[in-house]
Each structure stands twice: as C-alpha cells, then as structure tokens.
Structure 1
Amino acid sequence: MDYTNLLNYDEKIKLGIIGASQGFGYTTLVQVKNIEQIDLRVVSSIDIEESYKALVETGYNKERIVICHTVEEIKKTDESKIIIVDDYKLVLEAEITSIIETTGNITVGTYISENALNKGINVYMVSKETDSFAGPYFNQLAYENNVIYTLVNGDQPRNLIDLYSWGRLVGLDIIAAGKSSEYDFVWDRDSGEVTYTDGKEEYFSAKELLHYWEYKDKTTLNQRYEILKGLTGTIAADICEMNLVSNVTGLLPANSSLNYPIAKVNELADIFVPKEDGGILDHSGVVDVFYQLREKNEPSFAGGVFLIFEIKNKKMIDLLRGKGHLISKNEKYGCIYEPYHMMGIEAPLSVILGDRLGIGVRNDTRQVSVMVGVAEDEIKKGHTFKVYGHHHEIENVTPRLLEIDKANNAVPFYLLNDIKLKKDIKKGDVISLDDIDDELIDNKAFNIYQKGLELK
C-alpha cells in the first residue's frame, strides 16, 4: 500500500494514551511526537510522576504539560497542552477523537473500550488480554456506533492479521499463519553454548545440536527439543496473541498448546505443512508458533510473523525460488514473513488508517477460540488466582487455546484474575464456571464475554 496520500491531511487526530509510561505506551509516545497529523492530548498511568517523566524524557516540552485531577480542570485546559491524569476514566473527558489502550489490565480495557465507543471515540487496542475475550463484542459495538475498534500495528496479532488479509487479497491458498516466540535460541557453533535471549543471559551447553542443525524431518525437531527442553514452555503471551488472530481470521489453533517447533527460518515451509507432506500439522487453516533457532551472527526473526501457502504451479515455484523465496523441499509450499514487530513505532499507522480510512472496522469477529487455564497440579478450594509478571501468567495454571466448540463452559484465562475456587480441582482439569465462586457471573468483563458469544 502506498501511504503517500495519507500524509496530506491538515485536520489533527486528537489522541489519548492509557498506560503511557512503559513498554508499548512509551514507544508510542516517542513515535507520536514525530507525526504532524497526531496531536497528543492526554496520557494516563497509575503514577503521574512516571507519566511526566516519560513525556519529558521522550522530548515533549515541559511548558505544554499540565496535570489534572478532575473533569473541571480538564475542561479549563488549553487545547495546546498535554494533560496527565492518574484516573484512566478522565481520559475520556479530554475532547479526544482516538485512544490507544496499552495497560494489559482487563478492568481498564473493558471500561475504556465500551465507554469510548459509545461516546464516538475510536479505540486502538494493544491490551491483548482484554481483546482475547472482549474483541468480538467491541468490534460489533464499534460497527454499530460507526467508530473504530481495532488491534494495533507494532504487536504481532495486528501485523499477522494484516499479512493474512494481504495473502487472501492476492489469492494465496493459506495453510498456516504464525509468529516466532518472543525470544530466540542462539547457538554459538564454536563453544556449543545456546543463549536464550530473554535478557537473562541463560547459557546451556548444546554441542550435540551440530548433529541436528540441518532439518530432515520431524525427528530433527524431536532431537532439538530433547536437547533444549529445559528452555522451552508454553508462554501465555503467545497463546493469547494467537487467540486474537484466530478470532479475527477464523483460523483454528494448530492444537491446544500450539506446536512450538525449534526451527530455523529457512525451514518454516517444510515444517508448518500437513503431516502427509512431511510437516507437523494435523490440518490446514491454523495459527501456530515456533522458537527461532539461529547462530549468533544470524539475524533474529524478532517476534515476527509468517504465512505458509500452497503453490500448485511448478513454474511459479521455480520463479519464486530463483528470487530467493522460501520454498519447501517437496516444492509444494512457500513461506512469506515479516521479521519484526516494532511496538509503538508502528502504532501511528493503525491510528491514521483507522481515523482517515476506517480500516479496522469489522463486525464479523467472533470467539473462534478461547484461551483457557489448565491446572498444573491439584489446586485446593479457596485458592484465588492472580495474574502476574511481564508475560501476564497465572501461577500453577497452564494456558491452552481451545476451539470454541470444545471449550464448553471453560473460563477465559484472564477472567480468572482475582477469582476464588469453590471446590478442589485436579491436575489437568480445565478451569470452568462450575469450579469458581459465583461472583464472576456478575463481573462486567464476563458479561462482555457473554455478549460476544451471543453474536451470530
């Protein structure tokens, strides 16, 4: 897509950012400052001082920054100022046209989305935790109110959805869509050590990887897993992101835990294909995840996204291979990928496409799959679940992604936060409505999930 014409708008997009002091919100602050079409009007985080520090640190003029605690103070503030609030509800009072929600907090995400959409404010959703159970309802609500609700570029779900829609537009026969997990396995051929690149500098001796460096068949993947299984595990963020993609595209989970093969990029077209063609998939039309394996001097996939598609024309195969594209050894499948997700650097694209062209509006999103929680061990009556940590996990609960028809009355993973068990559950049980105290039934977020399920 040529974006040149979108540079020629004079009218400003008045933007609010919730969760602006860290991570995705922080990188969005950095980038929005460079966008003439976007006027940053209001930011919010729990700590006003952190918001102020983030604005100053990213280059905003101190003279423009005003701290407000009430609606009255906001209404009296000149439009040229940037408002800081610590109450996220006040963001909706700042005469904005659009809002980016980045907190990962489902209480914040559901309140902001519903109220903003009903007020005619466009919502750009970064918080995958909220969208995993509320996306279908909020997409429908936006459609009914003629406003925008959409996921945001810069995170893998929207990037993969965009790549998938492009693939459909050009007529690809798509077999699988997926992403690499957040962190790579980086192998030092000289020392034989593997580093898991999550910032913890974990080293693992794996000289025997040399024997399984070149992919032959599924046996290669099994051997790599045996060598590196101490570094593997299902990551809640990955499961959640594929839940979002599944709900928008209609693609099903490859399996409930996703496959997570340890793979090099040049192997993807051989691995994410049906088993009858030497791959790992039980069926086509799936979402999946892999761990990238690379040498220390090779580039990272950087949590990027990919499509696997079938090609039935031999001359087309030869032409694509000649251009350097990834083609399977059996000459049936191709792979196209985008090796990046650059957080807030890409976020303004979603806002401009949404506000200017209405891209992102859809009313066909449904709860195709559900992210659920499975007990890792027996959990006793009275236990209260808590979401914690950078990856928003729950202790002693493994995330799984189930097709909606197989989820029965399972509780969506992030709706378990602060919920108490009313009876013991066994290891391996999917946590369901029958297991928890009845307060969830009166929970606003759960009601939103139910409204999404009712859509036909």
Structure 2
Amino acid sequence: MNLFKKLQERAALGNPIRIGMIGAGKFGTMFLAQALRIPAIHIVGVVDLIPANAKSNMKLAGWSDEAHSAVSLNDAAISGKTYVGDDWQAMITHPAVDIVIEATGNPLAAVTHCLAAFAQGKNVINVTVEADAFCGPGLAQKAAEAGVIYSMAYGDQPALASDLVDWARTCGFSVVAAGRGHKWLPHFRQSTPDTVWEHWGLTSEQAERGRLNPKMFNAFLDGSKPAIESAAIANATGLEAPENGLIFPPGGIDDIPTLMRPKSEGGVLERKGLVDVVSCLTREGEQIPYDIRKGVWVVFEADTEYLKNCFEEYKVVTDPSGKYMTLYKRWHMIGLELAVSVASVALRAEATGAAICFNADCAAVAKRDLAVGEMLDGEGGYTVSGGLRPAVSSVRQGNVPLGLAHNVPLIRAVKEGAAITWDDIKIDRTTDAYKLRTSMEEQLLK
C-alpha cells in the first residue's frame, strides 16, 4: 500500500534500485517501458543473446539511443545510463547490480542464472515461470541458504493469485480454491504454432506487429501455461493440484463461487484447497460474458453463520448457499506490473510470491503418438503439452517435467495423452536444472 511512497523516498535520496535484466523479450520489454517512468529504478544492464534485438525492443518501448548508450557496466553505474550486452555472467557479478531479473523464458538457462545470482549474493525476480514450475521449491531453498530473496514476478498470474490468497488468509478467511482464467476447449490441447492465432483471436498481422512468438502463445492455448502457472500457484500458497488434472470448467466471474466448491456441495472440486482454471468459453465454443480469461481469482468461505450473514448484508455475489465468495483481479498486465516486485524486494525485502512447498508439478504429455527418435520441443510446440499433477504422484511415476522436455530425443515410443517418463528420453544429466530437479525429487520421496 505504501510502495509508491517508498519509491519516491528512494528517488529523493538519489539512490535508485539497480537492476540487471537477462532477456529482453515481450515481458522484459514491457517492464523496460515502465522503468523509464520510475526515477527510483535504474536499469544498469540488459543482456540478451542478440543485443541488437534488445536495443530494437527498447526503442519500440520508448527508449532513446542515448538512454542505453553506456559502453560498459561500469559506465552505466556512473552515468545512470544503461548498458546493453550479451554477457550475463559479467552482469550478475557486477557490484552495481542489486537485483537480477531473469526474463529469458528458457527454463534451463533460468535455473543456471538464478543459482549464479544467488552465489553472488543477488536477489532474483524470476519471470521465467516455466523454471519455477519444476524447480521453484529448490530455487527458493537455495536462495534462503544464500541469504537472498527469490521472487515470482508480479504481473504474471501466479504472483497475482498468490497475492489474493494471502489477502484472504490475512483477513482470516479459509481459502477453498484459487487460480486463473483461460480460453479453453479440449481440442486446444493439440494446437501447434501453426494453428495458434486462429484459436487465440488474433490475425497473423496483429501478431507480427506485436512481435509475438507463436510458440510462446501456443503454450497458453494448449493448456501448458495454465498447468505451469497452476503448479507455481499451488507451490507458493500450499494449495494442491487436482488428482486428475485441471478441470477448466466454463463460467463467468459471478459463476466462480458456485463452480469452485466441492462436488458434494454442487461444485466441481474433488475437495477444498485446490487450484484450478476457469474457461471463458462454453463447451460449444461460445464466449461467456464478463469472463476471467486474463485474470486471477480466489474463493473463500463463510464458515460461520455470522460471516455468512455478513456476505448477505453487504450484497456480495456468492454461490446459491450464500457460503462461498470470490475476490478477483480481472486483468493481469504482464511486465507492465513488474515494478511491484522490484519495489517489494528492494524496499521491503519481501518476495511477491515464492514456493513454500512442492505440492504440484507440470508433466510433459504427448500431443500425439510419438515415435522413437523424435525430438521433444517443449512447451507450446508440436510434440508435448503440460498437464498438472500432484507432485508426489508425478515424481513417483517418473514423469518428466515440461520444463525439461525440450531438445531431448525419445528412446521409446509414447502414445497420445500419456505422460513422458524419464525412461522414455535421453537427457543431459549435467545441467543445473536437471540436478536441482532430481534433488527435489529425492527430498520429496524421503
């Protein structure tokens, strides 16, 4: 509630929050557009595999050439300008950087970047939720051991949903369920980068104008991103994953309290305390009015007669019993909201959501029959999508997390709809991500 005031105070001291960002794609560029407007934030460095692309995106977001004309990180620290380069290790180790923002979207690289930043005593805001979905608990543990902060990114739906859960619990409510919205029909599971725009609702021209990545957007459409983000929400809040995966019940915002209650009371949940996703389409494909497609929600209950009466007296929308209510944020603004994480980490020493447990997992599931020798292409691609699972059952079954099902060959055929297992693939066991994930699995099964 006081973050803006604290940012003003920090700016007045002439001591801005010093940021180093890895990756200048869509999310990162949106943040850079806003960072220009916040005097308390100094982007010391931006590193990208292709610095020219980063500079092009910065220009698109309103940056002048002068603003990112620093010739080195040292020059940036002294001049107040920004250095753009391709050496992430140099940026992480530079003393002028207080917080590292990981925004590559590459889960394997993200884990390596986060761990390296922790080793340098740097706080990390991880935009790459794909990494958090399968390594978040391990990353949070490593950050705690290093005495630094690891945070999810505000503006992305997991952090926003976790914020709503925190609000409800802080108010004394019992949380029944939480999650996000989505545009979902079952056949979207088979969508590929070739079909994404017709389902998404954009023309190819609009997608090109926005420099939108079809593989990334297809990860939203085919159910991978909802599963990834639901895993992150569960692990950050202590909620659990449904035994049989996400349900995607169709409904508008006012339907959420009725949908997200136990089956025994007329809802869709196996039990209380779960994450799930609400679809903005009927099963016939019709648009539902006042939807939550781009937002997040939490459902909580009036577990006493007094609370139930309060709901009634204040005319809030509930389920028919008057017992369940939802609070929601209808829109999320992606990187345009990331400064909330920056301010929270720097000024309050507080993450905007981070894993506190390993309750949920996002497993790689075959989109079609896959043959020996085929190369898995990760989220949003042609071969696999993500399926939410309880972590214990996923690990016991040897499921490969979606974040590690990229650029790995199959050594056994897999039928459509089956989860990929470790026995089905040949994987590089030397990566930081694989090592951290397997250590998490060992801890979980102890």
How far does residue 45 in structure 1 lie from its aligned partner after superposition? 2.3
Aligned to 2:149: 148
Question: What CA distance in whole angstroms lies between the structure 2 residues aligned with 1:363 and 1:238?
Answer: 17
How far does residue 67 in structure 1 lie from its aligned partner after superposition? 6.6
Aligned to 1:221: none
Question: What CA distance in whole angstroms lies between the structure 2 residues aligned with 1:131 and 1:452?
Answer: 12
Q: TM-score, normalised by structure 1?
A: 0.82
Aligned to 1:415: 404
How far does residue 425 in structure 1 lie from its aligned partner after superposition? 2.6
Aligned to 1:14: 18
Is the partner of 2:268 in helix, strand or coil? Answer: coil
| Aligned positions of 1:363-378 closer than 5 A | 365-378=356-369
Cα 1:340–1:76 change in 2 (3 A) is closer
- The amino acid across from 1:342 in the alignment is M
How far does residue 148 in structure 1 lie from its aligned partner after superposition? 1.2
How far does residue 115 in structure 1 lie from its aligned partner after superposition? 0.5
Aligned to 2:380: 393
Task: Assess if the C-alpha contact under 8 Å between 1:183 and 1:197 holds in 2.
Answer: no
Question: What CA distance in whole angstroms lies between the structure 2 residues aligned with 1:24 and 1:182?
Answer: 20
Aligned to 1:137: 138
Cα 1:363–1:146 change in 2 (3 A) is farther
Structure 1 gaps of 5+ residues are: 185-194, 202-231
Question: What CA distance in whole angstroms lies between the structure 1 residues aligned with 2:63 and 2:375?
Answer: 42
Q: Which has the larger radius of gyration?
A: 1
What are the Cα deviations for residues 261-295 of structure 1, in whole angstroms up to 9, with x where unaligned?
A: 11111111111111111111111100000112599
Question: What CA distance in whole angstroms lies between the structure 2 residues aligned with 1:118 and 1:283?
Answer: 41
Cα 1:297–1:373 change in 2 (3 A) is closer
Task: Assess if the C-alpha contact under 8 Å between 1:377 and 1:428 holds in 2.
Answer: yes
Task: Assess if the C-alpha contact under 8 Å between 1:380 and 1:423 holds in 2.
Answer: yes
Aligned to 1:261: 249
Which deviates the most, 425-434 or 130-139? 425-434
- The amino acid across from 1:441 in the alignment is R
| Aligned positions of 1:38-437 closer than 5 A | 38-66=41-69, 73-75=72-74, 79-80=78-79, 81-94=81-94, 95-181=96-182, 198-200=201-203, 234-293=222-281, 300-360=291-351, 365-387=356-378, 392-407=379-394, 408=396, 409-437=398-426
Task: Assess if the C-alpha contact under 8 Å between 1:385 and 1:420 holds in 2.
Answer: yes
How far does residue 5 in structure 1 lie from its aligned partner after superposition? 4.5
Aligned to 1:448: 436
Question: What CA distance in whole angstroms lies between the structure 2 residues aligned with 1:235 and 1:364?
Answer: 21
Task: Assess if the C-alpha contact under 8 Å between 2:124 and 2:151 holds in 1.
Answer: yes
How far does residue 91 in structure 1 lie from its aligned partner after superposition? 2.7
Is the partner of 1:419 in helix, strand or coil? Answer: strand
Aligned to 1:35: 38
Task: Assess if the C-alpha contact under 8 Å between 2:177 and 2:273 holds in 1.
Answer: yes
Question: What CA distance in whole angstroms lies between the structure 2 residues aligned with 1:64 and 1:299?
Answer: 41
Percent identity of paired positions between Structure 1 and Structure 2: 25
Question: What CA distance in whole angstroms lies between the structure 2 residues aligned with 1:452 and 1:37?
Answer: 37
Question: What CA distance in whole angstroms lies between the structure 2 residues aligned with 1:151 and 1:363?
Answer: 6
Question: What CA distance in whole angstroms lies between the structure 1 residues aligned with 2:377 and 2:246?
Answer: 24
How far does residue 306 in structure 1 lie from its aligned partner after superposition? 0.8
Cα 1:301–1:363 change in 2 (3 A) is closer
Question: What CA distance in whole angstroms lies between the structure 1 residues aligned with 2:329 and 2:410?
Answer: 42
How far does residue 363 in structure 1 lie from its aligned partner after superposition? 8.5
What are the Cα deviations for residues 400-443 of structure 1, in whole angstroms up to 9, with x where unaligned?
A: 11112211221111201111112223344321111112x43333
Which deviates the most, 423-432 or 279-288? 423-432
Question: What CA distance in whole angstroms lies between the structure 2 residues aligned with 1:253 and 1:364?
Answer: 14
Cα 1:14–1:183 change in 2 (3 A) is farther
Question: What CA distance in whole angstroms lies between the structure 2 residues aligned with 1:117 and 1:359?
Answer: 16
Task: Assess if the C-alpha contact under 8 Å between 1:308 and 1:334 holds in 2.
Answer: yes
- The amino acid across from 1:323 in the alignment is Y
What are the Cα deviations for residues 173-200 of structure 1, in whole angstroms up to 9, with x where unaligned?
A: 111101101689xxxxxxxxxx965324
- The amino acid across from 1:19 in the alignment is G
What are the Cα deviations for residues 2-37 of structure 1, in whole angstroms up to 9, with x where unaligned?
A: 4355232232111112222x3211110011111121
How far does residue 312 in structure 1 lie from its aligned partner after superposition? 3.1
Question: What CA distance in whole angstroms lies between the structure 1 residues aligned with 2:354 and 2:276?
Answer: 24
Structure 2 gaps of 5+ residues are: 186-197, 205-219
How far does residue 117 in structure 1 lie from its aligned partner after superposition? 1.0
Task: Assess if the C-alpha contact under 8 Å between 1:265 and 1:292 holds in 2.
Answer: no
How far does residue 372 in structure 1 lie from its aligned partner after superposition? 0.7
Question: What CA distance in whole angstroms lies between the structure 1 residues aligned with 2:255 and 2:288?
Answer: 18
- The amino acid across from 2:173 in the alignment is L
Question: What CA distance in whole angstroms lies between the structure 1 residues aligned with 2:243 and 2:288?
Answer: 33
Cα 1:432–1:345 change in 2 (3 A) is same
- The amino acid across from 1:14 in the alignment is R
Cα 1:301–1:428 change in 2 (3 A) is closer
Which deviates the most, 59-68 or 151-160? 59-68
Cα 1:183–1:50 change in 2 (3 A) is farther
Which deviates the most, 99-108 or 287-296? 287-296
- The amino acid across from 1:414 in the alignment is G
Question: What CA distance in whole angstroms lies between the structure 2 residues aligned with 1:448 and 1:296?
Answer: 42
- The amino acid across from 2:30 in the alignment is T
Task: Assess if the C-alpha contact under 8 Å between 1:366 and 1:455 holds in 2.
Answer: no
